[in-house]
Amino acid sequence: MTEKPPGKIYRVLKERPLFLFQYVRTYWLFQRTRAVIALARILGIYPKSIEIGRRARVQRVRCLRAEQPRARISLGDYGIIYEHAKIEAYAGGKIQIGPCAVIGDARIYCRSSIRIGSRFLSSWNVMIQDYDPHPIDPVLRAKQVEAMCGRGPALTGWEFPSKAIDIGDDVWLGANVTILKGVRIGNGCLVAAGSVVLEGDYPASSILAGNPAKVVKSL
């Protein structure tokens, strides 16, 4: 008879005993956030613009922010959002994340549309942004910065240039990857650490690397 392999807790205690504290903290964060969101929904104060799928887990309530009244965020079933992630939609932006996505220390900012497929995996210090936050024109940018510092009126007549981002299923983004507006990445791609992906179509089952990123290999 084949012996049953030891459980995860047993292996952690035997091989990496000090990691047990980390696992306990991780579990506690997930459960606390779930309880806070459940209570907020009962009280009717949790925004309807944020949808969290069945058995999805989020470590911090602040990880998900959708500007009222038009922005939307949808997290698929079984997804995992760790505590340092920031997923924010502004104006009429819509963020859709497929099932079984694992998002670590990532920043996802949207004013148009960001779609992320199933089984997405992000490493540390990843940024995905579908708009330009500041004007290229130095005169306009100076006015914007002065307004931010309280030294002038709000900048008018300038919209945040944006283009939708589409990331397919089974995509893995390595550490320090940046995805900018207008990017479309096919299913099964791997984006190497430190890459900056600019507007364009990238075929399925490719390895992207570099700044700007290019297809360096087909899987």
Give me 6's structure tokens: 């030891």
Taking each helix axis from N to C end, the angle separating 8-15 and 19-43, rounded to the nearest 10 degrees, works out to 140
Q: Considering only CA atoms, which of 208, 205, 186 is closest in space to residue 196?
A: 208
Is residue 134 among the annotated active site residues?
A: yes
**Is 41:34 a contact under the CB 8 Å cutoff?**
no
Taking the CB of residue 148, how many other CB atoms lie within 10 A of it?
Answer: 12
Tell me which of 134, 148, 210, 212 is the catalytic residue: 134
Alpha carbon distance 196, 132 (integer Å) = 15
Phi, psi (5° rounding) for residue 69? -105, -5
Burial annotation 22-49 (CB, 10 A radius, 16+ → b, else e)? eeeeeeebbeebbeebeeeeeeeebbeb
Strands 213-218 and 206-210: antiparallel
- Helix (H) or strand (E) segment spanning residue 108: strand 106-110
Q: Could you give the residue numbers annotated as active site?
A: 134
